[in-house]
Every structure is written in C-alpha cells, then in structure tokens.
Amino acid sequence: MPQAGNTFTIGLTMAGAVSAGAYTAGVLDFLFAALAAQDERDPQENDLRVVLKAMSGTSAGGVCTALAVPALINGVRPFHPGEPSLPILHRLWVEELDFLGDDARPGLVSDSDLSGPHLLSVLNGEAIEAAAGRVLTGVEWTGSTYPFLARDLDLFVTCTNVSGVAYCIPFDSRRPAVGHLMANHAFVGHYRLTGLGTADIGSPWLDIWRDAGVPLELPQAATPHAPARIDFHGEGTGWDSLRRMSIATGAFPFGLAAKPVGATGSHLGVLDPAAGAMSCGGAWPLEISPEARPLPLRHSCSASFGFVGVDGGMCNNEPFEIVRYCLRASDPEHPWKLLQNPREPEKADRAVIMIDPFPEGPDGAISQTVEDADLAMVRVLAALKATLLNQARFKPEELVAAIDDTGRSRFLISPSRDGKHGAKALASGFLGGFGGFLDESLRAHDFALGRHNAQSFLKKHFNLAQVHRDFGKLPGGREVNGDMESPILRLPDRLAADIPQPEWPRLNIERIQDLLEATRHRVAKVSARAMREVWRGRLWQSVFRAFWTGVGRAKFTRWLERTIISELIARDQVRELSSAAQSGSRAGAEAEVRRAALAALMAPGPDLRTVDGLAAQTGLSAADVQQALQRKPEHPLFEIWQGAEHKGRATFCLRRYSPRVTGQLPGLRHLHAWALGGVTYDIAQSR
C-alpha cells in the first residue's frame, strides 16, 4: 500500500551510546534542519516529501528521542555550519554533561549526591537530572507546526524494569491461572504528540493494538506573540512522565543512579474503559491478534505500580523493530495482519533509519578450542554478563531481513572519519563510551561529526531507484554501482555545501591531571560510603577500611589513571604527544610508534616490560620500540625508567610507576625485585 502522494515516511531509531549521545544529537541536528528545509526546493521538480512518523531510543538514544520533542517545540533554527539547529540537544550533550562541571552545575564526579541516606551510583546521577532541568526550563511553543512531522508523532523510550512484569503460560485450559510463569523486564514507554505536525499519517499497528500512547498535550491558543510555556515538571502529566523516562533510560547500571518509574496496567496494554477502550502502551511488535495476547498478572487497568528502572540497553539496545512495525501498512484481507515494508529500490516508500554510534557490537570471533582455564568458575561468571546481554539483544527476524542488502526500507548512520568507523572515529569512543564526559571538546567533536556524517548519508546513501513504481521519475539522478538512483531527501544549496570534518580534539596533561584528581576524590568518597553500607559491623568496617585505604584504593586509582591516559595516548588525544608530530620535528610514522609504545607502557599490566613484550603487545618491531623508548620525554609524565635485566632482557616502565624505593635510587635498580618481591614481568619473558 503506497503512501498518499509523493510522501516517503521515515522512523528513527537511536541506539545506546553513553557520552556518544552527542554524536546522535549531531545527526538529529542536521537531519531536522534538512527536513525543515524541504519547502526551499524548486516546486517544479518531482521531489519527494519526507515525513517523520515515529522515533524510538534507548539509553543515550532514548534521551535524544525524548529531548527531540522540546527541541522541535522550541523551533528548528536555519542551518549554519557553526551554530546548532536544535540548541536544546547541543546544550545538553555538549555543554551540560561533564565530569568536572563548575560552580553553577554539578559534574558527574562531584559529591552533591552523597548526602542522602543511600549510595546510589558510582557517578553523580543528580548531575543528569539537574542538566535536564536546566535545558527544559523556558521551552515555549509559538503555535507553529511542521509539515515534515506526522500529526500524531509516536515516541518510544525503553528502560529495564528490574523486578519485571509476570506473565503466565497456562498448560491446562481448565485452570488458566496455573501454568509456567515468566517475567518481562523490557519496558517501553509510548508517548504521542499530536498537533506539532500536520502530515496525516497513521499507524495501523498501533490502531490494531488500540495503543494511543501517553498523550503529550500542547498548550491551547499559543501564538508567536503569546508563546505558551511547556511544564515538564507538572505532576501526573505526560511531559513529566517523558522527562522521568528520559532519565531512567540512561541509568547505566552502577554508573548512574537507578530511577523510580510509575506505570499502570494501561501502559502494559490492559485496555482502559474510561479512555474509550484505548491503552497508553503495550503494543507488541508481533503479528498476532491482540485479543490472543497474554495479560500480565496482578495488574488491572486501574492499578498503578512502580518499579526500579535502569538503562534500557540492558534488554534492547537498538529498539528497531518497534519503529518498523509502527510504519507498516495494514493488510486489507486480514483484520490484524500487516504488510511488509517494501524493500526494493523501485518500490520502497518508507524506511527506518538507525543512528548507532557504536555499531561494532560483540566480538564475532569463534573460539576454536576450549582450554581448562576457560572452565574455571570465576572466568565463566565473568563472561556471563556479556553472554546474557548479547542474547537479550539478538533479533533473528531482523537478521533474516538484513540478508537482502539491496533493501531500501532500513538505513544506518554511524560514525565515519578518515577511514575509521564506529568507536575509532569518535572522540568519546573509549572507556566504554564514558570517555566523552572527560571534556567538552570531545563531545563538541562528536556533535560536529554527527552533522558531517548525516549530510554525507543524505547526499550519498539515502537513495531510491530514479524511476520508481509510485513516485515516477525522481530528480537528481546519478549512477551508483551501475544503477541510476536519486536522493530521497534532496538538499537545497545552502545545506548541500560540504560540511568540513571537525578537527580531532586533544587534551593537555594539566587538564587530564585535573580530571584524575577529581576522579580520585570521588572514588575515595564513594568507597568510604560503600563500606559503611555493605559492612555494618564496626570490626568488619575497620578491617576493610584499613585494607582499602592502605592498598586497595591506591591500586584501583592507579589502574583507573593508567587506563584513561593509555587510551588517550593510543587514540592520539594527548596534546603534548601530537604537537611534535604536527610541528614537523618528527615524521608522523615515528610519532605513531612513540604513542603506541607509551600507551603500552602506560596501560595496566605487568610492572616492568621488555622490548620484546612491548613489540608483541603493539605489533611493532623490536627496533622501533627500542628507538621509541630512547626518545626525550615530551612531558615528565612520559619519562621512562630502566630497571635491571631479567633473564637477560632489559626491563622498562614509566618513572611515575617505577618500583618504590629503588625507583627513587637509580644506583640500586638491580635490587628492585628483592625489595618488592612481587614485581611482575610481561609474557615475553617466558619465551
């Protein structure tokens, strides 16, 4: 069933990203600017009109999904290379969320959250809520509408329900309440904004399930001369619920504080007679009759309940299928079935665009053998977390559909820069995605890269066949792999001029050391609080406090410090190590060797390394490593200390991490093994 007229309908899915939400925000910034500029094109040409019907997101993607609404209400600014088109998204992701913060805003490693009765998270979750409150203050609607939005714009934000919702599978029709119980922990908050868009595009899937979502009500009689303010803190309103859900979806387990989430049976699809037999959630992305679906236990349409909500990415890090079902057309021959979205380049009339800053996913390597050590209890337990997460996110239906690589019903926007992709192209692509919170310059880069990649995607990849079954012959055709294709969203001239790739950001050592000092302060506060809560007895508290203060905390903070600095060095994000290469005093290749060797020395691991060990770790030749170790240090932090030979090989480490006592007495280097007794060497020593 084709769309009415020359309308191409899209849905957006935004994956989890932690601090790389800045990249997702940048993609949205350019994409919405391009959608808003469609009326600037030549009306004489047979251009498609692209309309957005639905958005879904989880974790950082869920935050972007939720904040896109107030950003649109506030107005899409005309595109300018140096200014954001959606200031709210830029302000939150680039300016507000930071490790250090300042006097006006708490940072993620500040301690303003530690005065409560319980330790809630490793990082300061209050900083997230405070930032959301600041950017949502003063959002006003002037009454303006957008032709590129569906009149009913559907938003889906996921989170993980820690306790879960119980369902029963009966095996005896005579006793329907007796059967196999299972719990669903994946919660989806469905919200519907009506009136901001004007395009009349519905969703048969949601109609079949009678799911109208939680209403987001716009103020009445808003005008440019008398704009109406949106209250995101109004108790019991859809706006307050959306704000709360946007925080809960990003509550990274342990890292950020879990959040209480309130719901009713209607959120789970239990029909509410008072609402005209419509629910405010609960549609399942399955082709089954809604009447045949199982209902949750112990919940009714009027019962309210609460649960602890954490990161939506725990269960579904890419809620792609929700938006895909939202776009599907109805099957006129069956009351509850849906048609597949057309995939062929000459037939596709709707598509889901996924924005995924980290598309790499799990390591695809298959183990050839199983060693005895692999069966050890500790190693199996350590691997189970990734196993359960990956299985929860595995989607066979989407995998099968993706086999058709010519399909135009699904697209992906992911980071790309200088031949690097995914995390390697992002300035925030380290520390499990938390790296961007170290400094605003890292997030600013990723936001700008998102705009750059979004423009490239629309110009080069978001195409259909030039001659289309329903749309006729489209303008702007060009040959792609032997076929003539045309862009689905053709950019006006002012948006088509190439956006330059942002400069790669680098931090200086002083900034890094300030960050590390603040982090050490947070670690000390959190660890002391954790010991008080976990170990209630005074004796146990004294024992573990003595151990942690004397040994554990120093080892942990050193491990954290070395991890952060080594990753920054390896990614060429330390200014002192890049300035020499840029000035031409060393060739670029030599600078890369130097960085690789220093990153290996800095990384947690053996106390002392050999040239052979470093060569094996970095993939460099022993001669290159030896030469890199002999260079004059660019900063005292990178001064290299040479220890005594071990099994005929010289040993090295950074002076900052040299063995105690003997590290300060060069004349006694050969005594370091005796002095410590626990010095470790890299694996190359066993050859």
Per residue in 81-105, pLDDT tens?
A: 889 999 999 999 999 988 988 877 8
Q: 476 and 531 share a domain? A: no
Q: Is 173 a catalytic residue?
A: no
The upper half-sphere exposure of residue 217, i.e. CA atoms within 13 Å in the direction of its Cβ, equals 9
Predicted local confidence at residue 271, as pLDDT: 74
Is the pLDDT at 46 greater than 70? The verdict is yes
- Nearest CA to 190 out of 61, 62, 9, 356 is that of 62
Give CA separation, 26 vs 64, 87, 99, in Å.
Answer: 10, 11, 21
3-state secondary structure of 31: helix
The answer to whether 574 touches 512, Cβ cutoff 8 Å, is: yes
562: in domain: yes
Same structural domain for residues 354 and 439?
A: yes
More confident residue, 447 or 666: 447
Domain boundary among 470, 496, 522: 496
SS3 of 376, please? coil
- What per-residue confidence (pLDDT) applies to 669? 45
How far is it, in rounded angstroms, from Cα 7 to Cα 3? 6
At 545 the pLDDT is: 67
Single-letter residue type at 82: G
Give the count of domains, the chain: 2
Same domain membership, residue 186 and residue 80: yes
| Range among 207-221, 283-297, 470-484, 574-588 with highest mean pLDDT value | 207-221
User: Of residues 29, 154, 272, 311, which has the active-site annotation?
Assistant: 311
Q: How far is 504 from 483, CA to CA, in rounded Å? A: 36
Amino acid 385: pLDDT: 62
Domain check: are 484 and 533 in the same one?
A: no
Tell whether 413 and 531 lie within a shared domain: no
Residue 173 pLDDT level (bands cut at 50, 70, 90): low
Q: Which of 440-454, 500-514, 545-559 has the lowest mean pLDDT?
A: 545-559
Where does the pLDDT of residue 678 fall: very low under 50, low under 70, confident under 90, or very high at 90 and above?
A: very low
* Measured distance between the N- and C-terminal CA atoms of the chain, rounded to whole angstroms: 67
Q: What is the mean pLDDT of residues 13-31?
A: 95
Q: What is the pLDDT of residue 407?
A: 79
Q: Which of 19, 56, 59, 110 is catalytic?
A: 59
Q: Average pLDDT, whole number, for the chain? A: 84
CA distances from 221 to 40, 138, 144, 151, 192 (A): 28, 18, 11, 17, 20
Q: Identify the domain boundary among 445, 465, 496.
A: 496
d(CA 644, CA 173): 78
User: Is the pLDDT reported for residue 58 higher than 80?
Assistant: yes
Classify residue 70: in a domain, yes or no.
Answer: yes
Containing structural domain, residue 251: 7-365+395-496
Q: Within this chain, do residues 440 and 557 fall inside the same structural domain, yes or no?
A: no
Q: What is the pLDDT of residues 260-303, one digit of tens each?
A: 999 988 898 887 666 567 889 999 998 888 888 887 876 544 57
pTM for the model: 0.90
Mean pLDDT, rounded, for 152-180: 81
Pairing relation of β-strands 49-57 and 146-170? parallel
Helix/strand/coil for 261: strand
Percent above pLDDT 90 for the chain: 46
- 514 and 492 in one domain? no
- Is residue 383 packed enough to be buried (19+ CB in 10 Å), middle (13-18) or exposed (0-12)? exposed
Domain membership flag for residue 382 = no
- 251 vs 678: which has the higher pLDDT: 251
Band the pLDDT of 222: cuts 50, 70, 90. confident
43 in a domain, yes or no?
A: yes
Pair 587, 632 in one domain: yes
- Indicate whether 492 and 587 sit together in one domain: no
In the chain, pLDDT over 70 holds for what percent of residues? 83
Classify strands 478-480 and 483-487 as parallel, antiparallel or unpaired: antiparallel
177: pLDDT strictly greater than 90: no
Residue 243 shares a structural domain with residue 316: yes
Amino acid identity, residue 506? R
User: Sorting pLDDT into bands at 50, 70 and 90, what band is 479?
Assistant: confident
Residue 656 DSSP SS3 = helix
pLDDT at 535 over 90: no
In a domain, 370, yes or no: no
DSSP per-residue letters across 176-198? TTSEEEEEEEEEEEEEEEESSEE
CA angle (421 as vertex; 415, 427 as ends), nearest 5: 65
Is 376 domain-assigned? no
Range of lowest pLDDT (81-85, 240-244, 356-360): 356-360
Q: Is 465 helix (H, G, I), strand (E, B) or coil?
A: strand
- Nearest-CA neighbor of 503 among 434, 441, 564? 441
Give the pLDDT of residue 393.
57
Structural domain includes residue 383: no
**CA angle 654–659–662, rounded 5-degree value:** 110
Q: Model confidence at 551, in pLDDT bands (50, 70, 90)?
A: low
- Per-residue CA distances from 141 to 35, 87, 486, 520, 636 (Å): 19, 15, 36, 44, 55
Which of the two residues, 556 and 406, has the higher pLDDT score? Answer: 556
Q: Give pLDDT, residue 21.
A: 95
Q: Cα dist. 601→299, 435, 533, 596, 625 in Å?
A: 57, 20, 37, 9, 11
Is the pLDDT reported for residue 664 higher than 50? no
Domain co-membership, 439 together with 337: yes
Residue 614 lies in a domain: yes
**CB neighbours of residue 676 within 10 Å:** 15
- What are the C-alpha distances in Å from 551 to residues 303, 546, 554, 558, 565? 51, 8, 6, 11, 21
Same domain, 574 and 466: no
How many residues appear in the chain? 687
Least confident residue range of 19-23, 533-537, 627-631, 642-646: 533-537
Q: Residue 311 catalytic?
A: yes
Instruction: Evaluate if residue 684 carries a pLDDT over 50.
Output: no
CB contact set of 22 (below 8 Å; sequence gap of 6+): 93, 94, 428, 436, 443, 444, 446, 447, 450
Q: Last residue of some domain: 471, 496, 521?
A: 496
Q: Which helix (H) or strand (E) holds 421?
A: strand 420-421
Tell me the pLDDT band of 687, cut-offs 50, 70 and 90. Answer: very low
